[in-house]
Amino acid sequence: MNIAFIPVRGGSKSIPLKNIKLLNGKPLVYWTTKAAQEAKCVDKLVIATDSEEIKKTVLSIGFSKLEVFDRSTENAQDTSSTESVILEYLANVQADNLILIQATSPLLKSEHIDGMFETLAHSDADSIFSGVREKQFHWIEGENGLQPINYDYRNRPRRQEFQGIIAENGACYINSVSNILRDKCRLSGKILAYELPPETAYEIDEESDWIIVEELMKKR
């Protein structure tokens, strides 16, 4: 069994109850829930929340694969890791693979999820994450000042010749349940990246993200 798992808290501070705030006429969590519902590789869709208001909202969506997991208060704090609620859920569940999806990435589509799953299934890798290719030049602070980490500034490449780097977009991760229970992490072993369109880099954390993503969805 392949389980799509979407953790949502009721305690968002940047945008109160953002997971059920309307985005293009639907609650934010609806869009990733819809993607998981329509993904062929997903057998069960679980939304983990500590909020009764969110629970009522997601159950009203009426998707056939959907059920709600009542996550503990302990694992729904500002300091709680996503892994903590994943492990809480998996403690009493039998499944083959976990597809972790972030509700704050509403540009994720069902074909992205299926594409990731198929890519992982036909590889020798253990886990996979969704990402976007960035072609900016990145630097990091070191003991001797700033140092480039993805190019040689003395031999600056032309953009069309520059491969860039893959950045996690936070939308989706797939790993086997046995790996997650063993390593206590969403990713493990040999890891693949599945490249998604540049606009999927947007995660809704602030009001400005909301405005940008809503406009992108309207154009789509």
Active site residue 156: yes
Question: 3-state DSSP call for residue 152?
Answer: coil
How far is residue 63's CA from residue 60's CA, in Å, rounded to a whole number? 8
Hey, which residues does 195 pair with through a beta bridge?
Answer: 131
**Active-site residue identified among 9, 156, 182, 186:** 156
Q: If you write DSSP's letter for every residue of 60-108 in order, what string do you get?
A: HH--TTEEEEE--SGGGSTT--HHHHHHHHHTT---SEEEEE-TT-TT-
How far is residue 174's CA from residue 188's CA, in Å, rounded to a whole number? 10
Give the CA count within 13 Å in the CB-facing half-sphere of 36: 33
Could you list the active site residues?
A: 156
